[in-house]
Amino acid sequence: MANKTQIEWTDATWNPTTGCTKISKGCDNCYAERFSERFRGVKGHPFEYGFDLTVRPNRLTLPLSWKRPRQIFVNSMSDLFHREIPIDFIERVFQTMEIADWHTYQVLTKRSSLLRDFVNRRYSADPAPPHIWLGVSVEDRAALRRIEHLKQANASIRFLSLEPLLSSLGSLNLEGIQWVIVGGESGPGFRKMEIEWVREIRDQCLSSGVPLFFKQWGGIRPKAGGNVIDDHQWRQYPNIATPSGVSKARTPPRML
């Protein structure tokens, strides 16, 4: 949780929950788990309990204290739609986002059907506010169903994070998608991303008119492979006005 971050496509992170459990191949080398587990058992540390799912009510109102508008990645160290997070807590997270509407929020999940169901209940009449961007992670073809779930959500802005990209995704229907992020895996045991997979996505974004943000090729370190596709950087954002001025075995969660 920080009012600045090294994640290139956002300005800040906000983690009202931390920790998660693995549900697909994209989780295998989770950077958040790797970071959190370094501090397991360190008394008084925010990650004293490692990557155990932890609900943190004391962080709920943090964006209200940030007066300068910024883009905020929600739950960079967790998944807001984990089944063990109480629905009323998720409601409180959304309430904060609705009140602190001078920010833009980027909510990303692998639990796409739960996002869809929650959003369609909360915003049954009108779409979610346009400063709340809703996205899903897709790493391979087995995860493509998440895109359809996202399209079924009553959202204003939908985005895809194709990271870590582990295979060709084939033909994508990008209708109703406003932004695509692509990136390779980094860290120990990283799985290599092939250039053909990335070109395939780039070409489909171009033909569909969807902004593309290419984050990295990946490697042992995030920057090891750079971020250039065929001599060009792709650092595009949705072409919409935002408050920050950018056209840019389960266990119950702990309570801290």
HEC readout, the chain: CECCCCCCCCCEEECCEEECCCCCHHHCCCHHHHHHHCCCCCCCCCCCCCCCCEECHHHCCHHHHCCCCCEEEECCCECCCCCCCCHHHHHHHHHHHHHCCCCEEEEEECCHHHHHHHHHHHCCCCCCCCCEEEEEECCCHHHCHHHHHHHCCCCCEEEEEECCCCCCCCCCCCCCCCEEEEECCECCCCCCCCHHHHHHHHHHHHHHCCCEEEEECCECCCCCCCCEECCEECECCCCCCCCCCCCCCCCCCEEC
Mind listing the pLDDT tens digit for each residue in 144-183? 999 999 999 999 999 999 999 999 999 999 999 999 999 9
Alpha-carbon gap, residue 151 to 113, rounded angstroms: 10
Q: Given a cut of 60, is residue 256 above it in pLDDT? A: no
Mind listing the pLDDT tens digit for each residue in 29-68? 999 999 999 999 999 999 999 999 999 999 999 999 999 9
Q: Return the bridge partners of 54, or none.
A: 18, 254
Helix axes 112-122, 87-99, angle to 10 degrees: 60
Q: Where are the domains of the chain?
A: 12-247
pLDDT of residue 251: 47
The answer to whether 1 touches 62, Cβ cutoff 8 Å, is yes
Cα torsion through 49, 51, 52, 56, rounded to 10: 80
Mind listing the pLDDT tens digit for each residue in 64-86? 999 999 999 999 999 999 999 99
pLDDT of residue 253: 57
Q: Given a cut of 60, is residue 206 above it in pLDDT? A: yes
Average pLDDT in the chain = 94
pTM of the model as a whole: 0.93
The answer to whether 71 touches 12, Cβ cutoff 8 Å, is yes
For residue 119, the tally of other CB atoms under 10 A from its CB is: 22
pLDDT of residue 33: 97
What confidence category does residue 255 fall into, taking pLDDT thresholds of 50, 70 and 90? low
What confidence category does residue 17 fall into, taking pLDDT thresholds of 50, 70 and 90? very high
What confidence category does residue 240 fall into, taking pLDDT thresholds of 50, 70 and 90? confident
pLDDT of residue 105: 98
pLDDT of residue 6: 86
What confidence category does residue 239 fall into, taking pLDDT thresholds of 50, 70 and 90? confident
Query: End-to-end distance of the chain based on CA atoms, in angstroms?
Result: 15
Q: φ, ψ for residue 218 (rounded to 5)?
A: 90, -175
